[in-house]
Amino acid sequence: MAADRANPVIRTPHGAVRGRWERDVAVFRGVPYAAPPFGANRFRPPLPPAPWDGVREAAAFGPTAPKPPYSEAFAQYLADPAVPGDDCLNLNVWTPDPAPGARLPVFVWLHGGALTRGSSGVPVYDGSTFARDGVVFVSVNYRLGVEGYGLFPDAPANPGLRDQLAALQWVHQSIGAFGGDPDRVTLGGQSAGAISTGALVAAPQTRGLVRRAVLQSGAPEITGRDKVRRVVRRMAGRLRIPATAEAFAAADRDQLLRVQADIGRLSSPILGGPAFGIVVDGDLVPRDPLDALIDGAAPGIDLLTGWTRDEYRLWLVPGGLVERVDRLGAVALAGAMARCRCGSEVPRGYRALNPDAGTAELVGQLVTDHLLRNPLHRLAEGRRDPSYVYEFAWPSRRPGMGACHALELGFVFDSGDKPDARKLAGEGAPQDLADAMHGAWVRFVTDGSPGWDRWGPHHPVRIYGDGAPHIEHGPRDRELALWTTPTASDTAPTPELRSVVRRLRRNGALRRH
């Protein structure tokens, strides 16, 4: 259907939607890609939305998935708007040319938030900057927490990941009408969105749906089924109901969120704890996605991957946890050893390489390497197709935050003028750094190369920090080499180390807020 300048109207497979022109970009918000996941659809794989007659208004962001709010400690840094309503399986499209035949590259974005928070409506994820530069941008809402990643004996696993697959299938079928090319789709995300991206790229069901992928501060991983079951059982115990999908579906939704948030306070990226995650399900996730990708599960797909220099500071600075970990000293290092399943040689090596670092910095970098840099190195090293690696090193103007987790988002999206971007970056974020980083992402989505050498024997890493972006070769190689020792790879946590972790969680020393 032709789109007129004042009021663009596009026909999707389920009905027509009317968007808005905003600064030469056509925007369609809250477009359903699946039916509301409640009632008979609760805890079930997504179903197509019911067709509608007439033209559906698509001017405002749609409902967000049920989620608890951030604590005050985190809310001062991160925005997480909530929109009420059951029709939460929706997406948004920004396009510079909403007409069939434009065949523009497409970037599909999966938000972060530990699979329990976040949405496509976070202001920093403003897709207009990508559309301004010739990319059709799509951002997706999906089920979170127990609704999306609870594991029950009477329901399929990973419904939130299946939502994301349904959104990808919608894009493949529908994006041509918005001016996009279904054969030039880049899937990307940050944190939990990057973990999800890795799982989807490795999945057999996405063959032909994705051409490139971006993994920001998140590596492909799986969570043990027993760990997720323990979260569900703890919730069931608090609610005094059976640990089944049927019983959870009958429970009060707000009470579910309160119990989930309370149990989630014991979880921490530093020491683990109860958490939801993607599990091997024998179908969409037949095996560990990292192993699958290294073994060639996604041939022909280019990767852009990276991390921030001080990821851990978002995990520790809110609530004054840096000082608390520094006071714990050797006890915190022992807990990190248990979290990373490594022997004492690894933290001793980190201390030798960084003699002036405090305990919190050593623990933070140790866990960051375990969760992010080490697996992303393995991924780049083990694939035949091009991989490009970056490090974001510009320090926030907010005290103590450094180049923390999620700080790079305002630069990737060139949305640093948003008040919500300044919550994390502070005032005075350099526009030239945003120009460089956003431009690299646009180039990668458009033609597969962000503008520097692909990963190879010399380990080129693009550094985005103070001053001009530049290449360093193997900037983390000395630390990551410590993980290749037999002790690092083979030693499981001892009962004593597990006891340390339990004590730290009980006394709240390293809780996630």
User: Which one, of 508, 201, 485, 105, lies nearest residue 324 by Cα?
Assistant: 508
* Bridging pattern class, strands 212-216 and 180-190: parallel
Considering 14, 119, 311, 479, which one is annotated as catalytic? 311
Q: Is 405 a catalytic residue?
A: yes
Please give the radius of gyration of the chain, using alpha carbons only, rounded to the nearest integer: 22
Contacts of residue 88, Cβ cutoff 8 Å, sequence gap at least 6: 36, 37, 62, 63, 64, 65, 66, 141, 143
Considering 111, 172, 405, 459, which one is annotated as catalytic? 405
Neighbours of 208 (CB within 10 A): 10
* Bridging pattern class, strands 470-473 and 460-464: antiparallel
Phi, psi of 271 (to 5 degrees): -120, 10
What is d(CA 348, CA 161) in angstroms, rounded to the nearest whole number?
Answer: 39
- Rounded to 5°, angle at Cα 123 from 117 and 128: 130
Element (H, E) at 184: strand 180-190
> Is-contact 183 224, C-beta < 8 A?
no
What is d(CA 494, CA 506) in angstroms, rounded to the nearest whole number?
Answer: 19
Considering 119, 191, 268, 396, which one is annotated as catalytic? 191
Catalytic site positions: 191, 311, 405
